[in-house]
Amino acid sequence: MKAKVLFLCTGNSARSQIAEGLLRALADEHFEVFSAGTEPKGSILPEVQEAMREIGIDISGQWSKSVTEYLGKTHFAHVITVCADAEENCPAVFLNMGTHEHFPFDDPAKADEEQRLELTRHVRDQIEQRLRLWLTEKNIIPTDHRQM
């Protein structure tokens, strides 16, 4: 059975969506990957979809959802917060599950429209680098999704 991983942020419109798509591309055979927000925006930023498409990852099947969808229903082996707000507001039930880690990244949703795609690309690359390190720490060789 694959370990379940939850990426948690505030709006579930950028960072956690990027992390979900990337981990699925890098290690789908090892993990069942989810993302959620403490205050979901209800949609994924178009810049996030574009930045992921640029590296060959289609996240069109993902959607913005609330962390409450999983409360009391799913046990996660790993809960990873990707923003300070989610770290502070993470429901305690998740902190008592498996491993809890915090990987803070800038929020593309807070960037000006002119700068948003550029910041999204930067954050995407930072998240990928951090996830590759995390997988290496777990002795998992990431799939090279950019060759797909």
Q: Which of 19, 83, 86, 119 is catalytic?
A: 83
With beta carbons less than 8 A apart as the criterion, state whether 85 and 10 touch. Answer: yes
What is residue 148's predicted lDDT score, i.e. its pLDDT?
43
Q: Which structural domains are found in the chain, ordered by start?
A: 3-147 (3.40.50.2300)
* Model confidence at 73: pLDDT above 80: yes
Tell me how far apart the alpha carbons of residues 135 and 139 are, in angstroms, rounded to a whole number: 6
| Range among 62-76, 77-91, 108-122 rated most confident | 108-122
pTM value?
Answer: 0.92
Q: DSSP code of 142?
A: P
Residues in the chain: 148
Q: Which of 5, 8, 9, 127 is catalytic?
A: 9
90 as an active site residue: the answer is yes
